[in-house]
Amino acid sequence: MGAPTRGAPRFISRQPPGTPSRPRRFRAPNGATAAEWPSARVLRCRHAMSRNAAHTLHGFAPDVTEMVPVTVPERLDELQRRYDVGPPIGEGGMGVVHRVRHVMLGRDFALKLLRPEHAADPQILERMHREALSAARVDSPHTVEVNDFGRLSDGTPYIVMELLEGRELSDELQREARLPWDRVAGIALQCCDALSKVHREGIVHRDLKPENLFLVDRPGGEDFIKILDFGLAKVAGSASLSRAGMAIGTPSYMSPEQCAGEATEASTDLYSMGCVLYELLSGRPPFVEASYSEVLIAHITKAPTPIDELVPDLPPEAAALVMRCLEKDAEWRFESADALAEAIRGVDLGIPERSGTRRIPESRRRGAPIALPAPAEPSNALVWTLALALMGSVAALSAAFVLVRPSTAPPPPFAASTAPQTFLLTTDPEGAEVRIDGASRGRTPLSLTAEEASAGEVELSLEGHAPRRLRLAPEVRGTVRVYLDPEP
């Protein structure tokens, strides 16, 4: 199966196939003329029921008369007492979105409802309920407002949501190729504001990506972001959508723990946010591989190309915060969305990241630096297992991605090597001088043999930062990363 691509065809249907319907007249409510209903603009609305979960919406009241012929499914008759229901403005394989106007309030909304054939699927029902619950619990101008949730008499669930006019961030990126830091910073701060409130409610979004970030049209043209699609959200106190050992999300933006089917926390969203920032700035996600399974493996085993190599004019502090979001170990990422926002503001002010946003966990500050094991090349069995799981998941969840995590088998024994064992010593920030027993060995990142590094005391020094002294074990392998605290 190929890697995800942009620009997939949008829907062009006005009526859900196979839905019983009859012609009826649509009346513009409250005496409004049809000219007062949008007809020339292109709108976009979101729902998690199609492969793309993104659809072009067209105005549905031609600017001709007050009485416009409209075809509306009979099953929506019961909603007509509260809403004037227009024809579909968006649809996918799992559901349909109608534009509606509240009869008493005269306000427009988006009505999302499942197709009848999916109304009995418990997992799809749970996703729709979770989307409504999550959005309703979060009080933020940067999440979509949910106004109503219920079921039709035939059991079909529906959500009445805020109707948005604008475009997806992915469309903006496709048009612009990449965005400048100043603009990305403004978008990121709005996302952080929303995520801070989302996480305080015990919710993890788990599917942050440019397609789920919506640029709302506003006077003056300034960027105003809405985070969409909480259908995959993990909600504290709710049943899990996935079993242990299963991964769920969109591969290009999934954290290593998501890819491995492990527990997800707020730091998962911060990793995904790092993927989004990386793509907005460079024009490509952190990992561009030949297939979905290889993308998953890369998130777990590979280091992304440093963002400043792709965007040389990026402020160093901005590059550092993006790469920190992409740390494999969740403990090395930012502690919260608020901490990420503080780091972003620090870049805007032209000051280096402060210790408040680059705080080292207490358990690591006093202990030895962590040695990350060198990633082993994934076995063919793992690749095939991931690929097969992917094929099944696309049919099951469309926009979501589900796979069964294979059991970890010990690698076959290898003959002992007589070559010196090396590892990579790096610091954050990089460029620290490395001395072993007083003798200078170079600056980080620096490749050393385990034998020479463990022979004496290692001292790391960088102007403007407190020096670090440490001793390394002879068994050190892979990458050793040491954070340097700024001087008081």
Residue 79 has, within 13 A of its CA and on its CB side, a CA count of 28
363 φ/ψ sector (left φ>0, alpha ψ -120 to 50, else beta): alpha
Q: CA torsion, points 321, 325, 330, 332, in degrees to nearest 10?
A: -10
Is 305 within 8 Å of 326 (Cβ atoms)? no
Q: Given this model, what pLDDT does residue 157 score?
A: 85
Q: What is the DSSP letter of 97?
A: E
User: Which residues, in sequence order, are CB contacts of 351 under 8 Å at separation 6+?
Assistant: 317
Among residues 458, 454, 421, 463, the alpha carbon closest in space to that of 441 is found at: 458
Q: Give the pLDDT score at 116.
A: 75
For position 286, what pLDDT does the model report? 97
Count the neighbouring beta carbons within 10 Å of the beta carbon of residue 81.
7
Closest C-alpha among 110, 109, 121, 123 to residue 156:
121
- So which residues are the catalytic ones? 207
Residue 410: asked if its preceding bond is cis (omega within 30°), the reply is no
DSSP string over 334-379: -SSHHHHHHHHHHHHTT-PPPTTTSPPPHHHHSSPPEEEPPPPPPP
Please state, as a whole number, how many other Cβ atoms lie within 10 Å of the Cβ of residue 21: 15
Phi, psi of 364 (to 5 degrees): -100, -25
Please give the pLDDT value at position 12. 29
CA distances (Å), 4 to each of 8, 15, 185, 302, 401, in order? 10, 28, 26, 19, 12
Cβ neighbours of residue 299 under 8 Å, at least 6 residues apart?
251, 254, 255, 256, 258, 259, 286, 287
Domains of the chain in start order, with CATH, are 21-162 (3.30.200.20), 167-381 (1.10.510.10), 422-483 (no CATH)
Q: What is the CA radius of gyration of the chain?
A: 26
**Residue found under tokens 């700035």:** 281
Across 438-486, where does the E strand assignment appear?
439-443, 446-449, 458-461, 468-470, 478-483
Tokens 């990992």 sit on residue: 287
**Plot region of 359 (φ>0 → left; ψ -120 to 50 → alpha; else → beta):** beta
| Residue 29 CB-density burial (10 A; 0-12 exposed, 13-18 middle, 19+ buried) | middle
Supply the pLDDT for residue 475: 65
Q: What is the pLDDT of residues 57-68, one digit of tens each?
A: 323 333 333 334
- List the pLDDT tens digit at each of the 488 positions of the chain: 444 444 333 332 333 444 443 333 333 333 333 333 332 223 334 433 333 333 323 233 333 333 344 455 666 778 878 899 888 887 766 778 889 999 998 899 999 888 777 777 777 787 788 778 777 788 899 998 888 888 888 888 888 989 989 999 999 999 999 999 999 999 999 999 999 999 998 888 889 999 999 999 988 888 999 998 876 666 554 444 444 445 578 899 999 999 988 888 999 999 999 999 999 999 999 999 888 889 999 999 999 999 999 999 999 999 999 999 999 999 999 999 999 999 999 996 654 444 333 433 433 333 334 333 344 444 443 343 343 344 333 333 333 333 333 334 433 333 333 445 677 788 878 889 999 998 998 888 887 887 888 888 899 999 989 998 888 777 666 677 787 888 87
What pLDDT shows up at residue 154?
Answer: 80
HSE (side-chain half, CA atoms, 13 Å) at 313: 6
What pLDDT score does 309 carry? 94
What does the pLDDT read at residue 404?
A: 34
For 247, residues 6+ apart whose C-beta sits below 8 A from its C-beta are: 254, 258, 259, 260, 261, 296, 401, 402, 403, 405
Structure tokens at 215: 């640029």
Q: Is 443 helix (H, G, I), strand (E, B) or coil?
A: strand
